[in-house]
Every structure is written in C-alpha cells, then in structure tokens.
Structure 1
C-alpha cells in the first residue's frame, strides 16, 4: 500500500542563487530582479489537463506552481525543446505561451552553468598547468603555490587525485568533456591566452582591468569562473580550486563557497588558512554573465 503526500497550501521560498531557482522551478530564465531580490512566494494548485504526450517532461515543471507575486515578471519553462512562458505583469494565475529558449542565441546563467567558482568542481575537471613563466615574479610564485595547494587539498578533502595536464597537451576532447582549471597568466599558460579575449575582464602586461577598476598586474591576480569560450557548456576557472581552506576543515558547516564568480587578489598579502591572499574586490556576474556595477553603487542606487 502506498500513499501520495499532498502539497502544502503555501510555501515561501527564499532563493540564494540560480541553482536553487532551477531546482524549484525548472530550467527557466531568471526575472531581471532575481539576483538582487531572490524571494518568491507561490501557492500550488491542481495540475491542469495539458493534453499531449511527452516522455521527457517532468511533472514538477507543468501544473505547479501557480505563481503569485506583486512584481512585474515572467517565468519560462522548457520541455521537449519548446518554451512555455507566462505573460508579463503581476501574476495570479499563470497563462502559458510558446517561445524560443534564450540560451540558443545568447550567454545566460542557467541550471548547471551559473557559478560560483566552486560549481566547477561539481563536475569533471582538469587542472591545466602552464608551460611558460608568468610576466611577474609575484604572480608566478603565487600561482604555483596555489596550484600545489589545490592538488594537495583535493586529495586530502575529496579523497581523489585531480587530473593534471600541461597546457600544450590539452585536446579538443578535454575541452568538450571537462571544466578547465587554468593556472598562471596569459603569458605562461596558452589556454588562458586562448580564452582571455572572451572573458569579461582584461589581463595585460601591466594591469588587471575589471570594468572601470584597474589593478597593478605586478602584484594582483584574478580568480574567476566563466563559461568556456571554447565550449560554453563547460566552465573555465582562473587560479582557484574550491574556495574554502584549512580554517573551514574544523567544521563541515563552514565548508561552503567563500568567493562569488570573480575576485581580485592582492598578492602582497600571503595566502593563509582562510584566503588565497587579500581579496580586494569580488562580485557575481549578472544573469547574462556580464560585469555588474560595483556593489556599493547598486546599494546606494536603492537608497
């Protein structure tokens, strides 16, 4: 004998990121306000008779939930290669229409490709080491030290040996199958040089440039996650493994991501048990994987 649990009358969900949104609502496009105010209230209703047959359409994407919100927004659900989208405006009862999935033509955060940095280590990855030397001695020393730290602590914490390949040995198969964790700088690592022009920041001989913010490349280095320009279904990461460190090993409740999608590290402050150096700037990319205005400006704009 079996019983089916009925859904509660009301559920309040506070979402902390794209992955949570996808798990609850299916792989849809984010509302524009999502990253700033990720709070959604919804009430489930009886699943309507949609008609038709499909083998790949999961039940939880179709009849439920009925969305209730006082904001102007829409929800998109994808199944069988088609899009179902609500109308714009405050919603009481969802009305669906067909359209084109946005990721066919543009880069967007979506399920399995939403960051932050630690997300790259939830799937198959390869550490890609440089075959040359970095432009600046401080970057060379730091990148090599962080790579060695990553290999050692992956073994200690995850009980496995990380794949390691030199940049010159990376194949098209590697690019197709793995997230690539790139160590070094554009001068030392040919894979960084290949993808650099398609990343949202610049890393020149003299500067690391993030939007209008500029940092001396002699003693600063970026950490970053981004869809691989050579295969946007996978990630590239610059100079980072999982972002919690020795301090967090004392309690597994601390073993959570410590950095967002990108960060700038001041190498004049050495790595310690909590950080890979002094983090002087860090943020998430927006839902289109683009740089946002600095956080303090976004906060001030709301006041």
Structure 2
C-alpha cells in the first residue's frame, strides 16, 4: 500500500476525473470521492464464478446439496460496515428490477460464451466480456443501489453493442474519449479491463507517443470504480497528441507479480491495436503506481523512453523503516526482486521525472529524497521537483506543468552500446539488444555489464549461464564479430524456455487452478477451501479457476494449488513423494531440518508431477497470512516455508525455516 491517493479531498479536482456513471452511483451511496464502498450480496452465477468441470466429470454445481458451489458462490463475505459518515445503501422496495437485470445478464453471458471459441482474440469481444463482467459485479456487489442496477443495464447494453462489432476491422475511434478495452487472461480465465485514449493524430494513423498510466491505491478499488483519470493527464495527452493506456493492474497489487504482468500485457495490446511510437513510451504512476513505475522501469528499461513518478516510493526498507541486514536473506531477496532500490543501475539510460509534495502525509518526503538520491548515485538522470504547500494529491498540479511537457518532448528511448543490467529472478531475461539472458535460479543478483570502446564490445556476466544477442538490433558502433563475453557463454540462438521456478507467486503467472479434492458435503473442508479462493479474489479481483476431482489431463494442464493435509489428499502425497519434503503424523521436514507439526504450517512450490513444465503448490497445516493485508498476503512466500501461527511485524507468519530450492529442486545443506 503506497498511499490512499484516490480518497477525496486534499487538492483533487473531482469533476472530470471520473466517469459520469460512477458519479451517479456515488451520489446514490452518498460518497464524496470516486470510490464506492461495496455492499456485498450473494454471488450469483451471473457474476462469473469460475468453477470448471473436470474432463469427463460433472460440474461442481451438480454435486448433491450443491454445497461447494454455494460456499464459493453464495457466501463470499459478510457485508462490511459502512464507513463513518457514509450511509449504507438501502435495499430496493422490489426485487423485480434486480431479477430483470440478472436475467438479462445471464442471457448476455450465455451468448458471449457461445462466441468464445471463434471470437476470443477479437478486441470487440474482449470489451464485451469486460462490460458483462462489470455488470455482474454491479449486480452482486452493489445491487442494493438502484443506480447500480441502472449502471448494470448500461454495461449490458455496451456488451451487446460490442458484439455487433466482432469481426469488423478495428479502427481508432473517431470521437476523442476514454475507451474501455479488455483482454483474456489465461492465468485465471478472467477478462481484464484497461482504459485507452486515442488522440486525433493517432486516429489518422500517425505513430504517437504512449503514456502508460498506473493508478494509486484505494481500499474500495474494483473493476467498476477504478476508472478515475486525472483531468490534466487527459489534457496532456490531448495537447501532446499522445495515446494513453491505463492498466487495472489487478487492483492493489502494487503492480508486482500478476499486476506487473497486466501492465506488460496492456502495453502489448495497445501496440497491437493502435499506432504507437515505440521510442516514445512513458511509464507514469501516482503513489502506488509511482512505486510500480520505479520497479517495472528497472525490470524492463528497454521498453521505455522515460518514467514519470508522482508521490511514489521505491525503497521498501525506507518505507517500513527497517534495516535490510536485520531481515533474513530470503526476505531480502523477495524484496529486492520487487522493489527498485537495488536495481537502479538498470535505469542508466532511462530518464526519470519525479515530483513529490513537501507536506505529503501518506508517502513522506524523506522517501522520495532517499530513492532519488540513490538513483542519482547509480547514474540515473533524474529531474526532481518538490511541490511546496501540497500534501499527497499533487497529480493535477504536476500533469499541468509546462516543464513536464518540455521534458517529454525532449525524451525518447535510448538504445545504448554500453549499459549495466541486474536481475534477481530468471523471469527478467532481456535488456536492449541482449535478446535473452539465461539467468541462474539463485543468482543474487545476476548481473551483466556491457562496455563498448574503440569498436570492441566486452560483456562481463555473473549469475548468467548463456547470453543470446539480437544482431539485427545492434546500435551503431557495436559489431557482432567484435563482441567478447566473460563469465557466460555466447549462444547464437535463444534457448527453449526453461522449466518454471518459484517463488510461490510465480505459479500465478501462467494458467493455474485451485484443486478441491474433498466431498462437497463436508462443510468444514469446503469452507476452508472457500477461504483460499476468497483470498485470491481479494488479492487479484477475480475468481481462481476451480476444479473438483480433476483428471490427470486437468492436473497436467495447470499450475495446481493444493490445500489440505496429506492424510486426506492423494495429490499432496504425490507432490511430496519425490521432493526433499516429508510430512509425518507429528512433523514437517525439509532436508535435514524437522519441526513439530502442531501449531505450524507448510507452504511450498515444486514441479508438477503430472507435467514438469507446470508447477504444484501445496499448503498444509496452519493457514497462511491471516495477519497480512489482502494485497500483501503472498509477498513473503519463497519456494518453501515452515511457519508458525504468529506474525512477524510485516504481517507474514513467522518462519521457522524458509528459502529457495537449488537448480535441482533440492536444499543446499
């Protein structure tokens, strides 16, 4: 959580910053800001509970008593209490409007399901699915408000209108406006939204700069009410004739993990659909989005001309006022992977425009000064501005500044012949004309230093097995025959993708499924499983794929998540069987270390026994993350952890043993 930057007040222009319909729903709820507080109701089938049937087996919903589906779909959450001073929505006098909308939504979703196989890649179909998904959320989460039902009807009508455009060549819209786009995420089978703005020049087919805008944090954020864009950012895109794309980022993920993946996908989809000047892509973020911009910029410097960071943080240790050396090494590695501080050298050729309010009460000015000083020390070109008399909400002020416009006009992507790149995970395996880096699993970090002098290029690598070069994209002055490499092998070809690896959150980055092995009539096991599904919903704003009694084909098709005890799970026993883990009646053991099972839990990731190209995650014993914020529940899960039922100061369960498997999926003694 990087700041409550979407709450009302504090110098915000609330007029043009949200869509008209969101205003109307806010008025219904008596809210002053752009975000609705949810009024939870039961989850109907219309909202898209992603329960899938296993091959050759009946759907979960057809099991006797329908218990599991009822637990998963009908009792999502107890209704939260309204905030102080905010009246709770009153129930409708009649349920007829709600029934009509639900029926209309079911019919629309059924028609969209029929079109899935032939139209899933069509942008109009994706937009239709996003609008239908929003209608489902409005009906089930905000359904007590008449304006929410009206908005749901509007979304259904938009979905139906988009279906009429399926198969028609996509052209830039003729009327300047924010447009809601979408795409299908294979990860959990969900349709993800993003906003796009297309200026007149792009509508004429001219390649234009792209601003990728990362939103801030709000506790009430969902796919209905997240569409709040600073009005002066829209004015900037219009005056500079820029495209703009705003990823949802799965809500409040800090744009890490699956949130980062969403940003990259939105950039890719925008480039596919609109004429983007690839040398003028700017990554901009406010508050939480500013933190995301620091990190994603460090992970993928070759994608961006520059970063625009407003009221953002980039240093976890300064944020939490904790000494890095006081944390165990496995936590340091997880933090260093997802935060910019130890990766700032990657921005050597990516200019940064950074602004912060001197009186910021949510992200103190010391945090901005700290990360900016570290960036400058690492050789980053930073233009840093402190805004006097402003708290956290500086966004309208800064997007209206002329010096920002001048900075953007003078900034384009660099393609250097000398640079440095560091990575803490094999996923970060490309930088500029180094087309592929085969990063070793436990490099801490992997590092490559490229220097070109007098026509000779030297690559010095550590923590990297091989490097592939894209000779077609070499910058002037770099000759393929004059490249030498020290510390890694130069490979003429990009090797096949390696087998996936941990930590646990990596299993969310490709198709995954939560597997239910229990009897749906067993209310205790069903309720526990429902809690695990709710945790993903709270984190990523969508339901996981759920499979009951899976076939071997199902198990081989997904990264699988298994929750429960080995005494009741043949699948967990199978995963543990060929691993360094042992679970007895009384103990958890990893390698030579053994711990009493009572009062402890085990969370681990390992190759999927049914498909080594997939992953298996098991969780046994005490539940994980009960003391962590929903958007930080998965932050401190390495490859394996045996943990207690009490929490560390960061909210994660205290670890008795934790770490990362070696290259052979074993432990180094």
Contact 1:19 1:114 in 2 (8 A): no
Q: 1:9 to 1:146 in 2, by over 3 A?
A: farther
Tell me the secondary structure at the aligned position of residue 427 of structure 2.
Answer: helix
Offset at residue 175 of structure 1 (A) = 1.7
1: distance between equivalents of 2:437 and 2:447? 16
Please report the TM-score for the alignment, with normalisation by the length of structure 1: 0.62
2: distance between equivalents of 1:95 and 1:151? 44
1: distance between equivalents of 2:626 and 2:650? 6
**Equivalent position to 2:443, from 14, 31, 35:** 35
1:68 lines up with 2:444 in the alignment = no
1: distance between equivalents of 2:611 and 2:643? 27
1:292 lines up with 2:654 in the alignment = no
2: distance between equivalents of 1:158 and 1:95? 39
What is the match of residue 485 of structure 2? 91
- Alignment length (residue pairs): 236
Unaligned runs of at least 5 residues, structure 2: 1-205, 208-276, 280-412, 471-483
Q: 1:127 to 1:28 in 2, by over 3 A?
A: same
Q: Between Structure 1 and Structure 2, whose CA radius of gyration is higher?
A: 2
1:156 lines up with 2:538 in the alignment = yes
Tell me the secondary structure at the aligned position of residue 285 of structure 1.
Answer: coil
Contact 1:220 1:265 in 2 (8 A): yes
Contact 1:66 1:93 in 2 (8 A): no
Offset at residue 147 of structure 1 (A) = 3.8
Offset at residue 165 of structure 1 (A) = 3.0
Q: Can you list the C-alpha shifts for 1:35-86, whole angstroms capped at 9, x where unaligned?
A: 24433322479xxxxxxxxxxxxxxxxxxx95225x697525599xxxxxxx
What is the match of residue 296 of structure 1? none
What is the match of residue 640 of structure 2? 262
**Equivalent position to 1:124, from 505, 508, 511:** 511
Offset at residue 91 of structure 1 (A) = 3.5
1: distance between equivalents of 2:579 and 2:637? 18
Which has a greater percent of helix? 2
Tell me the secondary structure at the aligned position of residue 196 of structure 1.
Answer: helix
Q: Can you list the C-alpha shifts for 1:105-161, whole angstroms capped at 9, x where unaligned?
A: xxxxx65612110111112211123438xxxxxxxx8x8776433211322332322
Q: Can you list the C-alpha shifts for 1:162-190, whole angstroms capped at 9, x where unaligned?
A: 22234xx1112212211110011211111
Contact 2:602 2:642 in 1 (8 A): yes
Q: 1:96 to 1:158 in 2, by over 3 A?
A: closer
Contact 1:35 1:287 in 2 (8 A): no
Q: 1:94 to 1:27 in 2, by over 3 A?
A: closer
Tell me the secondary structure at the aligned position of residue 555 of structure 2.
Answer: helix
What is the match of residue 55 of structure 1? none
Contact 2:587 2:594 in 1 (8 A): yes
Unaligned runs of at least 5 residues, structure 1: 46-64, 80-89, 104-109, 133-140, 294-303
Contact 1:202 1:209 in 2 (8 A): yes
Q: 1:115 to 1:43 in 2, by over 3 A?
A: farther
RMSD of aligned C-alpha atoms? 4.1
Q: 1:244 to 1:36 in 2, by over 3 A?
A: same
